[in-house]
């Protein structure tokens, strides 16, 4: 131990001496970025200047160029220099891309740091969860973005969480499950105790829409670090009143969620120091077409938040919340040289992206990536729906009207969780002994939610679905965590049944069928949660699903259908439609 401490001290001595020599002109710096308009997030001003980089970090602002030596000079062309953007809360699996594919789509948007949950992937891996985490985090330090991860706070066995807490780059515990911590779950107590003992962070998932006020005291009382479970202005007011640094999220699928939140911040004049920006869940297609944190910052400005304050919400505020403002979040000496050059502050356009002082993206194209093979994480399908019968997918009324002409059924809305109700019980026509899938003059497809591996009687929930439509044929996908389920959308039970049986051959997949024939297949074979594809392959595969459904009558808007269906499982779990 003493020898190790001596080596550490010697390394630090060499480092501080080297920085002194760089500033004295006795040693070469790595990079000088000149001709910049630099954003000062502390003073909320912009000033003309230059940035000197050595050993991955900023070592000087506006250095005397006559007194220094430098290996490389970069002309900033008068562009604005802002800190590398930070996503305060991203579910690693939500966009289906593995870590290097995610980099291809995300980093050119100016994002250089993410704080990532990986609970669904590790839950899907089950007893293989520790190995899955090791493979997921392999070569994390070679990625062109800074990764900080969280051990699962829910959906996994406590022993998996405990082992993952000891891994790099894990910095704490991910979000808890509302329905366990509110009941005093012993495993939740252990998980919280472990991370408290380590001095790590705890991600909040506060349950404002699900829990009574007295239970809401529990998470802040045990020291949870943040909260992203807000959906409107009243949620925000309560979250910040309880002392949570609050993460404003893009939400699951619809930009209306974040617009509602930003509108509340502006209208109710909440101090922006309380807030960070995050995506929570996002698709690769949206990253490529609209952007990432750059798009959210631009939306903030459009909604009336000062551009500089919006940038702080995606940089300095997040760094400070995680006690990392000595490393990231500002363009000041001692911080990593994560720098984005943009021609506007109100409409972010990342022209150049630097991480650790190295140019890694230019004009929305990634220049450098890790070379990591994730094929060892691919898993074979384990069929579980062999005994599923087509008639189990028939839409039966929850209740019939007295005259027998109306049936009460569930109506699910893929975008309904944040700004309307995710599900409703509605009355629809009932004719000839069958439900007519029409409500308020609009025709809908049917939806079946099916437990993959039956334990006694198979759990199946049938209803109507708003968000994906098929005049004929069917589309189905699977989700393995915390309990494996299918969802299938269509009009005919026989076709829907066939589509589910085809998905059941894979560990994970999204498949479109018509007349018992495949129209499009997208394998999702990394523990059934991620696709082992490049970004081009992934977007092409998702587009093929959309195209096949368009031939069947769907007119898709927003996220790709595969992402819509996968995000549906989050709400199905939250509202207890998955046992």
373, 399, 427 - which closes a domain: 373
Among the listed residues 513, 507, 515, the one whose alpha carbon sits nearest the alpha carbon of residue 475 = 513
User: Residue 485 domain-assigned?
Assistant: yes
- For residue 294, the Cα-to-chain-centroid distance in whole angstroms is 15
User: Residue 40 domain-assigned?
Assistant: no
Distance CA 171, CA 149 (A): 6
Query: In terms of domains, do 96 and 226 share one?
Result: yes
Cβ neighbors of 470 (< 8 A, separation 6 or more) are: 445, 489, 490, 491, 549, 552, 553, 554
* Structural domain count, the chain: 2
409, with CB counted inside 10 A (0-12, 13-18, 19+), is buried
Query: In terms of domains, do 250 and 125 share one?
Result: yes
User: Residue 406 domain-assigned?
Assistant: yes
Cβ atoms of residues 137 and 98 within 8 Å: no
Condensed to tens digits (0 to 9), the pLDDT of residues 276-296 reads 999 998 889 989 999 999 999
* Structure confidence at residue 422 (pLDDT): 85
Beta strands (DSSP E) in 401-444 are 406-413, 423-431, 434-435, 438-439, 442-443
* Structure confidence at residue 335 (pLDDT): 98
| Secondary structure (3-state) at 199 | coil
332, 348, 373 - which closes a domain: 373
Distance CA 229, CA 249 (A): 9
Distance CA 429, CA 98 (A): 45
Task: Kindly indicate the confidence band of residue 3, based on its pLDDT and cuts at 50, 70 and 90.
Answer: low
Condensed to tens digits (0 to 9), the pLDDT of residues 454-494 reads 977 899 999 999 989 999 999 999 999 999 999 999 999 99
Q: Give per-residue burial for 530-568: e unless 16+ CB within 10 Å, then b.
A: bbbbebeebbebbbbbbebbeebebebebbbbbbbbbbb
Query: In terms of domains, do 396 and 327 share one?
Result: no
Element (H, E) at 262: helix 255-267
* Structure confidence at residue 574 (pLDDT): 81
Bridge partners, 115 (sequence order): 148
Distance CA 555, CA 104 (A): 28
Query: In terms of domains, do 433 and 495 share one?
Result: yes
Query: In terms of domains, do 244 and 308 share one?
Result: yes
Among the listed residues 145, 142, 153, 147, the one whose alpha carbon sits nearest the alpha carbon of residue 169 = 147
Query: In terms of domains, do 341 and 411 share one?
Result: no
Query: In terms of domains, do 420 and 474 share one?
Result: yes
How large is the average pLDDT for residues 64-69? 95
Give me the percent of the chain exceeding a pLDDT of 90. Answer: 85
Domain of residue 452 covers 390-575
Give the mean pLDDT of the chain: 94
Looking from the CA of 308 toward its CB, the CA atoms found within 13 Å total 12
DSSP percent split of the chain into helix, strand, coil, nearest 5: 35, 30, 40
* Structure confidence at residue 473 (pLDDT): 97
User: Residue 490 domain-assigned?
Assistant: yes
Distance CA 444, CA 441 (A): 10
- For residue 140, the Cα-to-chain-centroid distance in whole angstroms is 17
How large is the average pLDDT for residues 83-101? 95
Q: List, as one string, the DSSP characters of 454-507.
A: -SSSPPEEEEEEES---SSSEEEEEE-SSS-EEEEEES-HHHHHHHHHHHTTSS
In this predicted structure, the answer to whether residue 564 has a pLDDT above a threshold of 60 is yes
Query: In terms of domains, do 353 and 257 share one?
Result: yes
* Structure confidence at residue 420 (pLDDT): 55
Condensed to tens digits (0 to 9), the pLDDT of residues 370-389 reads 999 999 999 999 999 999 99
In this predicted structure, the answer to whether residue 1 has a pLDDT above a threshold of 70 is no
* Structure confidence at residue 455 (pLDDT): 78
How large is the average pLDDT for residues 434-457? 94
Query: In terms of domains, do 361 and 422 share one?
Result: no
User: Residue 12 domain-assigned?
Assistant: no
Give me the percent of the chain exceeding a pLDDT of 70. Answer: 98
**In the structure encoding, which two tokens stand for residue 158, read together?**
């406590």
User: Residue 36 domain-assigned?
Assistant: no
User: Residue 257 domain-assigned?
Assistant: yes
Query: In terms of domains, do 194 and 257 share one?
Result: yes
User: Residue 147 domain-assigned?
Assistant: yes
Task: Kindly indicate the confidence band of residue 419, based on its pLDDT and cuts at 50, 70 and 90.
Answer: very low
Q: DSSP secondary-structure letter at 69?
A: E
In this predicted structure, the answer to whether residue 34 has a pLDDT above a threshold of 90 is yes
* Structure confidence at residue 5 (pLDDT): 67
CATH of residue 292: 3.20.20.140
In this predicted structure, the answer to whether residue 252 has a pLDDT above a threshold of 60 is no
Q: DSSP secondary-structure letter at 374?
A: -
* Structure confidence at residue 298 (pLDDT): 96
In this predicted structure, the answer to whether residue 431 has a pLDDT above a threshold of 90 is yes
Query: In terms of domains, do 491 and 465 share one?
Result: yes
Beta strand 28-40 with 80-83: parallel, antiparallel or unpaired? parallel
348, 373, 398 - which closes a domain: 373
In this predicted structure, the answer to whether residue 514 has a pLDDT above a threshold of 80 is yes
In this structure, the dihedral spanned by the alpha carbons of residues 269, 275, 277 and 279, taken in order and rounded to 10 degrees, is: -100
In this predicted structure, the answer to whether residue 210 has a pLDDT above a threshold of 80 is no
Condensed to tens digits (0 to 9), the pLDDT of residues 150-187 reads 999 999 999 999 999 999 999 999 999 888 888 999 99
Among the listed residues 149, 187, 152, the one whose alpha carbon sits nearest the alpha carbon of residue 170 = 149
Q: Where are the alpha helices (DSSP H) in 314-357?
A: 316-321
* Structure confidence at residue 38 (pLDDT): 98
Element (H, E) at 85: strand 85-91
Task: Kindly indicate the confidence band of residue 37, based on its pLDDT and cuts at 50, 70 and 90.
Answer: very high
How large is the average pLDDT for residues 482-508? 97
Query: In terms of domains, do 475 and 353 share one?
Result: no
Distance CA 477, CA 277 (A): 30
* Structure confidence at residue 557 (pLDDT): 76
Cβ atoms of residues 94 and 50 within 8 Å: no
How large is the average pLDDT for residues 255-259? 83
């Amino acid at each position: 131990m003493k020898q190790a401490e001596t080596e550490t001290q010697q390394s630090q001595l060499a480092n501080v001496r080297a920085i002194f020599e760089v500033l004295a002109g006795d040693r070469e710096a790595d990079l000088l970025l000149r001709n910049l308009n630099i954003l000062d997030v502390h003073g909320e001003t912009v000033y003309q200047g230059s940035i000197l980089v050595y050993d991955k970090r900023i070592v000087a602002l506006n250095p005397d160029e006559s007194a220094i030596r430098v290996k490389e000079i970069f002309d900033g062309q008068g562009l604005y220099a802002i800190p590398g953007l930070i996503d305060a809360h991203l579910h690693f699996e939500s966009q289906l891309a593995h870590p290097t594919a995610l980099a291809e789509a995300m980093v050119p948007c100016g994002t250089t740091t993410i704080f990532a949950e990986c609970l669904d992937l590790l839950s899907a891996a089950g007893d293989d969860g520790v190995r899955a985490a090791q493979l997921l985090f392999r070569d994390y330090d070679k990625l062109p973005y800074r990764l900080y991860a969280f051990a699962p706070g829910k959906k996994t066995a406590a022993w998996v969480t405990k082992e993952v807490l000891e891994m790099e780059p894990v910095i704490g515990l991910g979000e808890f499950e509302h329905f366990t911590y509110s009941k005093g779950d012993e495993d939740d107590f252990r998980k919280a105790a472990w991370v408290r003992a380590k001095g790590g962070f705890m991600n909040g998932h506060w349950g404002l829409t699900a829990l009574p006020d007295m239970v809401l005291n529990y998470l802040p009382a045990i020291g949870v670090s943040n909260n992203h479970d807000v959906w409107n202005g009243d949620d925000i007011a309560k979250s910040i009143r309880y002392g949570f640094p609050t993460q404003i999220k893009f939400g699951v699928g619809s930009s209306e969620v974040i617009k509602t939140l930003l509108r509340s911040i502006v209208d109710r004049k909440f101090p922006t120091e309380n807030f960070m920006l995050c995506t929570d869940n996002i698709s690769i297609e949206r990253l490529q077409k609209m952007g990432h944190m750059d798009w959210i910052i631009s939306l903030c400005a459009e909604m009336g938040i000062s551009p500089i304050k919006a940038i702080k919400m995606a940089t300095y505020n997040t760094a400070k919340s995680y006690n990392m403002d000595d490393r990231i979040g500002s363009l000041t000496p001692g911080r990593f040289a994560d720098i984005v050059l943009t021609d506007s502050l109100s409409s972010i356009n990342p022209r150049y992206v630097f991480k650790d002082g190295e140019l890694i993206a230019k004009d929305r194209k990634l220049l450098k990536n890790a070379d990591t093979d994730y094929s060892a994480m691919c898993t074979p399908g384990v069929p579980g729906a062999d005994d599923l019968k087509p008639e189990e997918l028939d839409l039966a009324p929850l209740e019939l009207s007295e005259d027998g002409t109306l049936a009460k059924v569930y109506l699910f809305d893929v975008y309904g969780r944040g700004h309307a109700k995710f599900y409703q019980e509605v009355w629809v026509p009932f004719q000839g002994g069958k439900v007519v899938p029409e409500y308020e003059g609009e025709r809908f497809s049917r939806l079946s939610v099916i437990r993959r591996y039956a334990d006694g009687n198979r759990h199946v929930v049938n209803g109507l679905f708003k968000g994906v439509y098929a005049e004929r044929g069917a589309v189905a996908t699977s989700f393995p965590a915390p309990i494996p389920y299918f969802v299938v959308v269509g009009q005919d039970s026989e076709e829907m049944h066939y589509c589910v049986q085809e998905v059941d051959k894979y560990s994970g997949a999204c498949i479109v069928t018509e007349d018992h024939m495949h129209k499009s297949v997208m394998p999702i074979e990394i523990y059934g949660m991620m696709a082992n594809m490049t970004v081009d392959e992934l977007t092409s595969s998702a587009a093929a699903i959309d195209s096949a459904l368009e031939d069947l009558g769907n007119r898709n808007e927003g996220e790709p259908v595969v992402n819509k269906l996968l995000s549906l499982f989050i709400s199905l779990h939250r509202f207890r439609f998955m046992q």
